[in-house]
Amino acid sequence: MGTVKFLRDSGLKTQGFLIVLSGPSGSGKNSVINAVFPTIPNLKYSISVTTRPPRSGEVDGVNYFFRTEEEFDQLIEDGLLLEWASFVGYRYGTPKSFVQDQIDSGNAVIMDVDIQGAIQIREKMPEAIFVFLLPPTWEELRRRLKLRGSDSTDVIKNRLAKSEEEIKHIVDYDYFVVNDDLSAAAEQLRQIILSEWSKISRVDVKSLLALWKGGSVVETGE
Ligand code: 5GP
């Protein structure tokens, strides 16, 4: 995957947008996002807040903002979350200001939220793009959840039951990506994001044409 140099690097004004990625636990949302992330400079990741304890290797402020139940209550009370939901015993939410600031600056923001979160976002930001990530097969999903190792058998069972419910909601999404091969799935997500960037409705056409006439519109890197 080459790095894409955006038209806006040349001063083009673009309208930022939100990409909502959902999929069952174990579908590989983090891996796919991590693979796409370095290839699109104007893509930002919305770090969620959660009451779930960190898994091994997870870092506060990188993977999540890990917070207590009381702190989470306070965020809700102060109206600082764009959406939030309970998921298999813990709460997860999206900080509102980061998403808004990035979109206002013309960036694309990607977020990983469950179905309940996606429903709330669709109500508040109907122009967002909704992508559903599917594991290659049901059996593979079971295997991946078991392999993760850091969750107890009960948690794995609950997550599998939850997955079955979640997959039914795929009809509410705009795109689906099957994560069989990570780099292929990442490339597909990347293409979806790039297509969205190419929408005329997201650019200031006057400045696009002015830049183009001046010969300073650069489309892609290597
Ligand atoms: P995990 O515990 O595996 O990191 O995440 C569990 C579920 O919470 C996943 O389905 C993930 O998409 C979802 N999730 C992560 N962050 C958020 C968030 O900010 N809001 C909502 N609604 N769900 C989230």
- pLDDT digits over 11-23, tens only? 777 889 999 999 9
* Tally of CB atoms within 10 A around 193: 21
Mean pLDDT for the chain overall: 89
CB of 203 sitting under 6 A from ligand 1? no
Q: ∠ CA 172-188-95 to the nearest 5 degrees?
A: 55
CB 98 within 8 A of CB 141: no
- Shortest-distance atom of ligand 1 to CA 52: 2
Q: Does the domain spanning 3-46+106-212 belong to CATH 3.40.190.10?
A: no
Please, are residues 210 and 22 in contact by the beta-carbon 8 Å criterion?
no
pLDDT above 70 for 162: yes
Ligand 1 atom 19 nearest Cα = 93
| pLDDT value of position 155 | 80
Question: Other C-beta atoms within 10 Å of 85: how many?
Answer: 17
- Model confidence at 150: pLDDT above 80: no
Sketch the domain layout of the chain as residue ranges.
Answer: 3-46+106-212
Burial of 204 (0-12, 13-18, 19+ CB in 10 A): middle
pLDDT in tens, 100-142: 999 998 899 999 999 999 999 999 999 999 999 999 998 988 8
The verdict on the CB of residue 25 being under 6 Å from ligand 1 is yes
Q: What does the alpha-carbon distance between residue 156 and residue 210 come to, in Å, rounded to a whole number?
A: 55
Strands (E), 53-167: 64-66, 81-87, 90-95, 108-112, 129-134
Considering the chain, what percentage of its residues have pLDDT values greater than 90? 64
Q: Determine which residue's CA is closest to atom 2 belonging to ligand 1.
A: 52
Q: Is the CB of 24 under 6 A from ligand 1?
A: no
Q: What's residue 222's pLDDT?
A: 45
Q: Ligand 1 centre and the CA of 220: distance in Å?
A: 33
